[in-house]
Structure 1
Amino acid sequence: MRPTPLAIMAIAAAMFAEPALAISRYNSAALTCDQVRQRVINEGAVILRYPSIRVKGMTLYDRYVTRNAMCDPHEYAERAYVPTRDADRCPVLSCQPFDPEPYRFGKPIIRF
């Protein structure tokens, strides 16, 4: 039996999509701000976990990125802050919903 072009394309797509599913997870409270920022830069996107300030024993987490291109099409990269070992507010970027109505010229660009 000979593989069809559709089957070949499906297998190729699965092979290329698989690495995109892997994303590193780090505890930001165990790292310095420079280490957190460097890991985000090196990997493009990471998940950072950290303890909640308001609710004792609760762990918060989110996906942090280097630029708009790492977000879904309906999102953009917005400034966010995470606690680290050496700083209460380490600047990073997280994907937020994008409403194109107020922005006539596209998504806002915020530098990492």
Structure 2
Amino acid sequence: MRPTSLAIMTISASLLAQPALAISRYNTTQLTCDQVRQRVINEGAAILRYPSTRVKNMTLYDRYVTRTALCDPHEYAERAYVPTKDTARCPVLNCQDYDPESRRFNFGKPIVRF
């Protein structure tokens, strides 16, 4: 094998072995609802952090998406709400487990618009 071919194969293998780009994380209480929604829309998915309303000094977080296609195959995008600087209930979507048995007469995963 020629050194050039070996170098190309080595570089290609190292690029394929790299982990996926990191997902962005945002503290929702420092942003307005429109800013939170726009960042999720721009990136497709983001980790949103916010303080718990039930447990003092506890931070909650989850992955929020723009559509079901960004969830795992056994999940779908469901409406959720996070607190922001300007509102206590900013509408976003996060992935929830999908159980086809519980949806006996509806076919397929529910479609919820961002």
TM-score range, shorter chain: 0.7 to 0.9
Q: Deviations over 1:10-40 (max 9, x none)?
A: 938835x73x441000000000000000000
**Which runs of structure 1 show a deviation greater than 2 angstroms over 4 or more consecutive aligned residues?**
10-15
The reply on whether 1:60 has 2:45 as its aligned counterpart is no
Q: Which amino acid aligns with 2:71?
A: C
Larger Rg computed on CA atoms: 2
Question: 2:79: which partner in 1?
Answer: 79
Deviation, 1:105, is: 1.9
Question: 1:95: which partner in 2?
Answer: 95
Partner Cα distance (1:21, 1:106) in 2: 30
Q: Deviations over 1:33-57 (max 9, x none)?
A: 0000000000000000000111110
Q: Which amino acid aligns with 1:109?
A: I
Corresponding pairs, count:
106
Partner Cα distance (2:65, 2:15) in 1: 24
Question: 2:33: which partner in 1?
Answer: 33
Q: Deviations over 1:61-91 (max 9, x none)?
A: 0000000000000000000000000000000
Q: Which amino acid aligns with 2:33?
A: C
Q: Any gaps of 5 or more consecutive residues in structure 1?
A: none
The reply on whether 1:48 has 2:48 as its aligned counterpart is yes
Q: Alpha carbons of 1:78 and 1:13: their partners in 2 closer, same or farther (altered >3 Å)?
A: farther
- Equivalent residue in structure 1 for 2:111, among 101, 109, 112: 109
Partner Cα distance (1:73, 1:12) in 2: 28
Q: Any gaps of 5 or more consecutive residues in structure 2?
A: none
